[in-house]
């Protein structure tokens, strides 16, 4: 039997799958099904069944899918949850500091404690204060995060508070030192909170995949794509779901490289919820070593340098009561899709259509659909009434307001969306493509009704409104692409966000006006080819590439490039260990879980290197990697004792630290 791998990508809209021949590097079967967010197992099982049938049809015989060598998973669910502000409610305990910047949770407290830069305790931990804060937040949150001042130098206080949280609540708990060894208290704190927020979501996904594997008697190891395109174990993904942010787009980059062989270009992955852009140089995406930024939050997660915006086939199209158009970043179910699942919704939309909704704050096209009851969150009476009303099926806000006898603008449904108990349906680019004839998948009439309502709110005919939506999407894609290439050149500004740059960008895209009164013509000429992957790219990128004078690749299997990328990466484990001067002499070695003291520098370095190699090798072997190689990179940092000091004279320099970066790389499957 050929060496086959099974790749799955679960996105906010679709779950994609491929059977991939590891020796020939070819796609043997593919599947694309709708992601059932209320029950991920349904989508996973449907995807797997389709792959088995497709492979049987191709080979004309029975296929033992249980013999695959590897199962690998990527997902945009973590990225989408951060972009949309969804996930578990998290209680944050800050030790020895109080953040003065915004945090991704409204539930936080600060308690005394913390250490200094050498790892010495500077203030004793106040466990009583921690206990009071934990109990006060317990009924408002689903999980906890802990961030201690300079905990990367000594994590003892974080570990004590984690034990206390487990004892008092039994809730999932995340400590910042487990996720990053980098300094930057705010970024590490944000990373810990987001990790805790994502744990239930990723656990649900992994459980669904494991259930599907067991059903088909697949015993291969389950791997997960992290944000830099490498593969990690199922266990690590469960403990550190933050590692999976940008997992989907990272897999798409690797998949685009595998499908096209293009070594240098700009990869644009347009999905249902987000569009992600990365630059390939010499066949590799550049890594953002400062940490990935997603949804406006800067993290300490090492990932491919990917720029993400909330734009996709399922992005929410809104028109304000002042007739201002916007697309994204929130994701909703398309009207055409939800009406195909619940046909009575088309009638509910018909009822709304004649009304005057120009003065409403709320979008008239919104439909609420039930996902699950809130976890550990107390709901108000009206919130519970909304949940009860939509449990048997989704309804428009207009219908809900009439049933509850409340004004639409006064209905308290937003918090239910934020905690992922309710999901919206409304007008999306997918609906617009149904109306203009580029798609014919679901219920076109519902899309037409929603488009007409927002066109009226936009104060324009339907055709003009559709054109405005398409132009806005082209503008967002062009800005994303050009800004990313300018950033690669070293530019530190956004053409799209600058008022003057935005004007120029719109003029670049307006290529059809030979008889216009414009006295200056602006054009773009991209030197890197565009590689567009994702389900809706055919609808947007041929025209966009023409306007930007760019070579365009739309590879075969572009719609499942992310799934191809999941089985094309390597298993990689990494650790960073620091060697720093001790207090009063000697040297301290800081590993992720402890610190060791050595009087002799060479002994400290030797220990750091060997400990790092042992750690990453064991981690790689544990996930089933073979042919493992370990690599050690050492960076010594010194400062000159004076401005006149000789750069090459070690006696005139002061040692600051040695950074030991150790990696283990292996093949994620065995013969």
Q: CA–CA separation, 507 vs 608, rounded Å?
A: 56
Using alpha carbons, list the distances in angstroms from residue 455 to 20, 337, 354, 429: 45, 20, 13, 14
Q: Are 275 and 269 in contact (CB under 8 A)?
A: yes
Q: Is the dihedral of CA 365, 370, 376, 379 positive or negative?
A: positive
Tens of pLDDT along 166-214? 999 988 888 888 777 677 888 889 888 888 888 888 888 889 999 999 9
Considering 148-157, 234-243, 522-531, the range whose residues carry the highest mean pLDDT is: 522-531
Model confidence at 94, pLDDT cuts 50, 70, 90, reads very high
Does 23 or 166 have the greater pLDDT score? 166
Model confidence at 641, pLDDT cuts 50, 70, 90, reads low
Task: Give the mean pLDDT of 640-658.
Answer: 65
Respond yes or no on whether the N-terminal peptide bond of residue 329 is cis (omega within 30° of 0). yes
pLDDT at residue number 647: 57
For the entire predicted model, the pTM comes to 0.74
CA angle in degrees (0–180, nearest 5) for 254-259-263: 65
Q: Are 433 and 335 in contact (CB under 8 A)?
A: no
pLDDT at residue number 398: 93
Task: Give the mean pLDDT of 456-467.
Answer: 95
Q: CA–CA separation, 65 vs 50, rounded Å?
A: 12
What kind and span of H or E run contains 253? Answer: helix 247-260
Model confidence at 1, pLDDT cuts 50, 70, 90, reads low
Tens of pLDDT along 111-138? 999 888 777 788 899 999 999 999 999 9
Tens of pLDDT along 468-525? 999 999 999 999 999 999 988 888 888 888 878 888 888 888 755 454 677 788 888 9
pLDDT at 267 over 60: yes
Q: CA–CA separation, 661 vs 289, rounded Å?
A: 12
pLDDT at residue number 640: 64
Mean pLDDT of the chain: 87
pLDDT at 642 over 60: no
pLDDT at residue number 281: 84
The backbone region for 170, taken as left when phi is positive above 0, alpha when psi lies in -120 to 50, beta otherwise, is left
pLDDT at residue number 346: 96
Tens of pLDDT along 530-567? 999 987 888 999 999 999 999 999 998 988 998 999 99
């Amino acid at each position: 039997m050929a060496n086959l791998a099974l790749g799955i990508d679960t996105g906010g809209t679709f779950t994609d799958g491929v059977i991939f021949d590891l020796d020939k590097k070819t796609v043997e079967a593919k599947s694309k099904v709708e992601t059932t967010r209320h029950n991920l197992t349904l989508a996973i099982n449907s995807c797997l069944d389709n792959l088995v049938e497709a492979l049987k049809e191709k080979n004309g015989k029975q296929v033992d899918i249980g013999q695959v060598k590897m199962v690998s998973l990527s997902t945009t669910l973590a990225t989408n949850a951060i972009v949309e502000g969804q996930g578990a409610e998290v209680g944050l305990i800050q030790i020895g500091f109080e953040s003065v910047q915004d945090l991704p949770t409204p539930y936080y407290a600060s308690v005394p404690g913390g250490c200094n830069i050498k790892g010495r305790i500077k203030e004793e931990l106040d466990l009583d204060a921690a206990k009071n804060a934990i109990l006060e937040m317990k009924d408002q949150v689903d999980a906890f995060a802990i961030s201690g001042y300079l905990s990367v130098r000594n994590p003892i206080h974080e570990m004590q508070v984690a034990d206390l949280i487990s004892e008092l609540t039994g809730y999932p708990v995340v400590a910042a030192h487990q996720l990053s060894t980098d300094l930057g208290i705010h970024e590490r704190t944000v990373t810990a909170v987001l990790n805790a927020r994502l744990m239930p979501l990723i656990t649900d996904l992994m459980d669904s995949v494991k259930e599907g594997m067991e059903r088909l008697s697949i015993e291969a190891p389950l791997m997960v794509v992290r944000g830099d395109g490498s593969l990690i174990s199922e266990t690590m993904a469960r403990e550190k779901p933050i590692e999976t942010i940008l997992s989907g787009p990272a897999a798409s980059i690797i998949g685009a490289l595998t499908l096209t062989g293009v070594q240098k270009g700009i990869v644009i992955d347009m999905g249902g919820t987000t569009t992600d852009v990365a630059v390939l140089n010499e066949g590799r995406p550049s890594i953002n070593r400062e940490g990935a930024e997603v949804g406006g939050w800067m993290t300490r997660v090492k990932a491919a340098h990917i720029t993400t915006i909330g734009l996709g086939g399922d992005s929410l199209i809104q028109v304000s009561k002042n007739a201002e158009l916007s697309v994204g970043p929130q994701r909703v179910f398309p009207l055409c899709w939800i009406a195909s699942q619940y046909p009575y919704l088309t009638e509910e939309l018909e009822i709304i259509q004649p009304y005057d909704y120009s003065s409403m704050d709320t979008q008239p096209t919104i439909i609420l659909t039930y996902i699950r009851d809130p976890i550990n969150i107390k709901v108000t009476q009206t919130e519970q009434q909304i949940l009860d009303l939509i449990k048997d099926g989704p309804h428009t806000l207009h219908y809900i307001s009439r049933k509850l006898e409340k004004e639409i603008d006064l209905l308290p449904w937003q918090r239910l969306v934020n905690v992922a108990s309710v999901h919206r349906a409304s007008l999306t680019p997918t609906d617009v493509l149904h109306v203009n004839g580029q798609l014919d998948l679901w219920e076109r009439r519902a899309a037409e009704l929603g488009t007409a309502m927002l066109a009226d709110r936009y104060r324009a005919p339907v055709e003009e409104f559709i054109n405005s939506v398409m132009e806005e999407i082209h503008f967002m894609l062009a800005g994303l692409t050009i800004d990313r290439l300018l950033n690669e050149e070293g530019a530190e500004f956004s053409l799209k966000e600058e008022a003057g740059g935005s004007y120029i960008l719109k003029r670049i895209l307006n290529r059809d006006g030979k008889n216009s009164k414009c006295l200056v013509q602006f054009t773009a000429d991209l030197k890197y080819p565009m590689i567009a992957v994702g389900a809706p790219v055919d609808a947007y990128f041929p025209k966009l590439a023409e306007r930007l004078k760019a070579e365009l690749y739309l590879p075969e299997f572009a719609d499942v490039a992310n799934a191809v990328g999941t089985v094309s990466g390597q298993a990689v484990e990494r650790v960073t260990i620091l060697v720093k001067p001790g207090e009063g002499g000697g040297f301290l070695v800081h590993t992720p879980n402890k610190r060791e003291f050595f009087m002799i520098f060479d002994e400290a370095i030797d220990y750091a290197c060997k400990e790092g190699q042992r750690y990453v090798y064991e981690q790689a072997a544990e996930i089933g990697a073979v042919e493992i190689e370990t690599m050690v990179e050492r960076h010594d940092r010194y400062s000159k004792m004076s401005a006149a000091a000789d750069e090459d004279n070690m006696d005139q320099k002061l040692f600051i630290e040695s950074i030991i970066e150790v990696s283990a790389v292996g093949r994620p499957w065995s013969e």
